[in-house]
Amino acid sequence: MEVFQRDLNQAYTTGQLQYDNESILRYIDYAITEKEMPMTAASAFWLDYLRDCKIDQPLPLPCDRHRISDQYRTGRGTRTTFNFGQDLSRAFLTHASTNNTIPEHLALASYFVFLFKLTNGEKDLCIGINTDGRCKTELVSVIGMFANAIPLRCQLNPSWSFARVIEEVHQMAVDTSTYSYFPLQRILAQHPLVSKPAFLDTSFQFYATSTQSTVKEVVLGGASLCLVPYSIQIGPDEIPHQLCSMRSLCAGGDTVSSKLVERIKTIVNSDCLIWNAYGPAETTIFSTCHRINQTDLKSMIPIGRPLPNYRCLIHDEFEQPVFVGQAGELLIGGVGVFVGYLNRDDLTSKVLVEVNGFKYYWTGDLVRMDSSGLIFYVGRKDNQVKIHGQRIEIGEIERCLLDSHISGCVAVKYGDDHLVAYVQGSDISEEDLRTHCRARLPPFMIPSIFVVLNNLPLNANGKVDRKRLPSPDFYSLGDSIGNIYNSPSTEMEERVHGLWCEILKVPEKKISTTATFFTIGGHSLLFIKLYHLYQSLFSFDSRSLTITPFLQQATIVEHAKLLEGIRHADKQLKAWQSLHITEGIASFPQERIYLDEQVRFSNRTVVYNEFKAFTITTGSLSVEHRSSFRTFFDDFCIAYNADKPLEIGNNSLQYIDYSTHERLVDMTKSGDFWRAELDGYNFEKHLSLPVDRCRSKTDQRSSAAYSARFSLNSDLSKSFLAYASSHNVTPFQLGLATFYVLLFKLSNGEIDLCISCVDANRYRPEIEDFVGMFIATLPYRVQIDPSRSFDHLVEQVRDKCLSILEHTHYPLQRILADSHKQQVNINFLDISFDFVNFLPAASQLNCDGAIMEPLVPDQWNETAKFDFMLTFQYDTFLEDKTISCFLVCSRDLYNEATVVKIARRFEYLLFQVFSPTYAKNGNNRSEVPLTRLTLILQEEAAEIEMMNF
């Protein structure tokens, strides 16, 4: 039938049937050729296969009457049918898949077991089965009679399990199919004493049908139409009234817009059902479907829910399920999932994955699911570009533009620095489009230029031909980062501009003087380095001009004005000089970690001796880079390239000099600051966190830890960074604010929160590029107002961090001594927060051809210096541009399950704060009080709703 349909379609569409009498094999040719086929092996197989089989004895089936020996069959019969139902069908197909067999063989095994029971335990079962008989590839396209009937024999052992039966039947079916071309009459001829083969009385057939067709068809007389949305181009010369009898229209293969559906509704009958179908070819065309209603036209049209026998999962980049409303990659499982790509096992292994025993296909499509279970298409995972270090979803920009009064658009990345939006329409103002985007998109996602066209160029498939898009005109657009380029106008602005280019590793004429430091790739560590550079070049100290105004006024123009004001300042920074000493007292940071290790931890535990691995056997040096590593690498490369020891001058400042100089620093002002900061604080009241056991006041810490890790997806990471940029806070400050909310919720509403944070503490220009221990552990105290919003808390945390920044050099041991406290059993030392920014420095190192690349640790260091520590990790040069979170808790207090559950609660908290979808549901960060945020997971909330009290 398939051959006939193919030929009919060819004759119908072309008006003729291509047929070559000289080369095409005909059925009569087959009839002659088969007589000459060698069948010795087949004959031997069937003779051995049916040895000792009583093929003339019928199976003792329970019948109502008997047929006499010479009576012919009437050909009439009675049929009964039943349906497995959805659940049993799914279980049947799953069982076939897990037992590495096909549904036909599973059904055949079930049939043999059924006959075994029906015949009261007959072990030697022989039945008949029909085969297609097309044993040669040449016969596939020939119309004719090839069917053959062969016996299938199964010798059951009652002690076998059903899995063993499946295995035996599968092997039997494979063996017999090899010689299924051997004619039935020859099989019977091998048994001359058998006059009536009884196995032909009992038969088995398995029909596998599919409603899918690989040929584009028009069904004459039908009333259904299935097509790709882009192909619906209804012109004025067409006759729309011919579609009035349409009862159902299914659109698939591309996104369906509300405008298109509204236009179709004006042409078709009011009773016509319009469906949006979705599914890649790898899952057998359609996998989800949704009937479009009037409500859908007011927003985004969903792709629906899974079809019967299909399953859908939505996972993030780390193969973890996402929350409701959160975007993630769609996985499709079920009966339609393909086996793999032909001869491309490498590609197959990348797209097929097993989840909970089921096979799923990674679609590469980003989707989200609402609370009712409807799936919405977001865009392609690979349709992302990176501009200035930010990963941008092109589809999000296009959807934003389509919300305005335009008929079509496409956004593309042009060069390394620009986004260009091509818009189809007339009477469209570029300024209106830019204003529209500014109200809905983060600044880094707004296109640099808009190109308005009467019509977008299309290819033969009706899709936008990006190769034919005209080149944009950048003549009037400044070649700048973050803004229209404003060049320096004064000598001071020129100097500051040069320092910014040096710090940010950006070429000249790439930074506008009105661009904010944190919106063009800067972060807190680079800003501190810039401030120290200012101190060194313009000779001032923090008493003359603190870092705070530089952070609050973070443009080149504003920095130039600040530096102009202190050009003639009286107080100048006196540089530290080498003291030429060989022995000296330990520095404050060294003293602190020694006391910490001796007092808080067992003397058998070496907590602060952290080992780093260097892999150099393969020709490259891989390291995890932090502040001192950059200096080490610079010196290492100089010595490596010169092939001689590094020359160090006699007057060079050494770490031992620093440990002496710091004790001569006047710290009166800083001491007053910390005493005021901790005034009235209860050092001995520990937060009531959900611990699994308690530690006595005299117990020392073991440093053993449990850890949990999760990563924010691209959308959430992007929203996090966009929030930090728009609110003029650093990622550290924003992450710290979220941590305070977590502690507020975990401690059942504790509002006076004090924790430890680690500071680089390189507060002098001389120690900025110094190898040594400078890190300070400091208390960060915030008093939360639960009735205020998250935005207010962020401002509070930002002001707190800026005030502390001037006093990081004041050692922890003095802070505690001023409060008459010892380093043991101090509550803020139980909890710690850190935000790790991986710098791009190491990626630029080249030592005589040996490239040094950054290595991000696969597993976080599971040493518990604190009872409860949260670390954010952000690498600006990673492709996925995501932020990771690590929660490390002491095994002395927490079980692993508790740590994992807390991490999940924090992940959900971040989703509430930063998810754009969550914000659209009336949850405004600037208005919603902190009490409205919750740590109750959605599955827990569902269980609570179902409980009867």
Please give, one letter per residue, the 3-state secondary structure of 387-423.
ECCEEEEHHHHHHHHHCCCCCEEEEEEECCCEEEEEE
The single residue listed with the structure tokens 């290492």 is: 636
Residue 188 sits at the vertex; the CA angle it makes with 187 and 192, to the nearest 5 degrees, is: 130
* Average pLDDT of the residues in 388-396: 68
Q: Where do we find the tokens 């924003």?
A: 734
Which residue among 453, 468, 483 closes a domain? 468
Whether 435 and 349 share a structural domain: no
Q: Are residues 246 and 258 in the same domain?
A: yes
In 3D, which of 421, 398, 317, 395 has the Cα closest to residue 362? 317
pLDDT at res. 689: 92
- Res. 776: pLDDT tops 80: yes
Residue at which a domain ends, from 380, 398, 418: 380
Is 522 in the same domain as 595? no
- Determine the pLDDT at residue 219: 35
Domain span at 513: 491-565
The dihedrals phi and psi of 36, each to the nearest 5 degrees, come to -95, 0
Q: What integer is the mean pLDDT of 549-574?
A: 74
pLDDT digits (tens, 9 = 90+) for 4-20: 777 777 776 676 776 66
Contact 719, 915 (CB under 8 A): yes
Whose CA is closest to 903, among 874, 881, 872?
A: 872
479 domain residue, yes or no: no
Instruction: Specify if 116 maps to a domain.
Output: yes
Q: Give kind and range of the element (H or E) at residue 87.
A: helix 86-98
User: Quick check: is 911 in a domain?
Assistant: yes
CATH number of the domain within which 505 lies: 1.10.1200.10
What residues contact 736, with CB distance under 8 A and at least 6 apart? 757, 780, 797, 801, 833, 835
Dist CA 657 CA 649 (whole Å): 14
Distance, in Å, from the CA atom of 186 to the CA atom of 761, rounded to the nearest integer, reads 94
CA-CA distances (angstroms) from residue 39 to 36, 133, 197? 9, 14, 22
Q: Which residues of 58-74 are buried (b: 16+ CB within 10 A; e: fewer)?
A: ebeeeeeeeeeeeeeee
Residues 747 and 687 placed together within one structural domain of the fold:
yes
Among 127-136, 307-316, 402-411, 624-633, the least confident range: 624-633
Q: Count of domains in the chain?
A: 5
pLDDT given for residue 846 in this prediction: 64
Q: What is the CATH number of the domain that holds 246?
A: 3.40.50.12780
* Alpha-carbon span 228 to 276, nearest angstrom: 10
Q: How many CB atoms lie within 10 A of CB 675?
A: 12
Q: What is the rounded CA–CA span in Å between residue 296 and residue 368? A: 15
Residue identified by tokens 């997971």 is 937
Residue 217 falls within a domain, yes or no?
no
Structure token digits, residue 578: 């080498």
| Predicted pLDDT at 353 | 93
Same domain, 775 and 848: yes
State which of 318, 347, 380 marks the end of a domain: 380
Total residues found in the chain within this entry: 949
Which residue, among 423, 487, 429, has the nearest Cα to 455 in the 3D structure? 423
Q: Verify that 552 and 627 share a domain, yes or no.
A: no
Calpha distance 788→927 (Å, rounded): 8
Nearest to 573 by CA among 483, 668, 670, 665: 665
- Helix 790-805 to helix 731-746 angle (10° resolution) is 120
Do 426 and 352 lie in one domain? The reply is no
761: closest CA among 554, 517, 525? 525
Identify whether residues 50 and 100 lie together within a single domain: yes
Mean pLDDT of the chain: 79
pLDDT band for 329, please (50, 70, 90 cuts): very high
Burial group, residue 422, by CB count within 10 angstroms (0-12, 13-18, 19+): buried
Same domain, yes or no: 257 and 304 = yes
In angstroms, the CA 288 to CA 250 distance is 12
Does 124 lie in the same domain as 42? yes
776 and 674 part of one domain = yes
Classify residue 524: in a domain, yes or no.
Answer: yes
Contact in structure between 690 and 590 (CB atoms under 8 Å): no
Q: Give yes or no for residue 675 having a pLDDT over 80.
A: yes
Span 219-248, pLDDT tens digits? 333 344 455 454 455 554 455 555 677 788
Q: Give the CA diameter of the chain.
A: 129
Token output for 373: 């279970």
Q: What is the 3-state secondary structure (H, E, C) of 664-679?
A: HCCCHHHHHHHHHHCC
Same domain, 540 and 603: no
The residues that bridge with 840 in the sheet, in sequence order, are none
- The dihedral through the CA atoms of 785, 786, 791, 794 has a sign that is positive
Q: Which residues of 203-212 are buried (b: 16+ CB within 10 A; e: fewer)?
A: eeeeeeeeee
| Host H or E run for residue 721 | helix 714-726
375's enclosing H/E stretch is strand 375-380
CA–CA separation, 756 and 865 (whole Å): 11
Beta strands in 605-751 (DSSP E): 621-623, 705-711
Confidence of residue 906 (pLDDT cuts 50, 70, 90): very high
Q: For a pLDDT cut of 70, what percent of the chain falls above it? A: 78
Helices 714-726 and 896-914 cross at an angle (nearest 10°) of 60
Least confident of 7-21, 703-717, 776-790, 836-850: 836-850
Average pLDDT over residues 108-125: 91
Rg (CA), the chain: 38
Whether 583 is in a domain gets the answer: no
Q: Which helix (H) or strand (E) holds 644?
A: none
Q: Is residue 699 scored above 90 in pLDDT?
A: no
Tell me whether residue 76 is in a domain: no
Most confident of 5-19, 505-519, 882-896: 882-896
Q: Quick one: three-class SS letters along 516-536? A: CHHHCCCCHHHHHHHHHHHHH
Q: How far is CA 836 from CA 79, 732, 872, in A?
A: 72, 8, 6
In a domain, 290, yes or no: yes
- Output phi, psi for 448, to 5 deg: -70, -35
Q: Using one digit for the tens of pLDDT, what is the confidence trace for 40-89? A: 888 898 898 998 888 888 888 888 877 665 556 666 677 777 778 778 88
Q: The domain that contains 897 carries what CATH number?
A: 3.30.559.30
The reported pLDDT for the residue numbered 538 is 82
User: Residue 654, Cβ neighbours under 10 Å: how many?
Assistant: 17
List all residues 6 or more positions away from 230 whose beta carbon is below 8 Å from its beta carbon: 254, 458, 461, 462, 463
Weakest mean pLDDT among 197-201, 523-527, 664-668, 683-687: 523-527
Most confident residue range from 288-302, 384-398, 417-431, 843-857: 288-302
φ and ψ of 142, to 5 deg = -105, 135
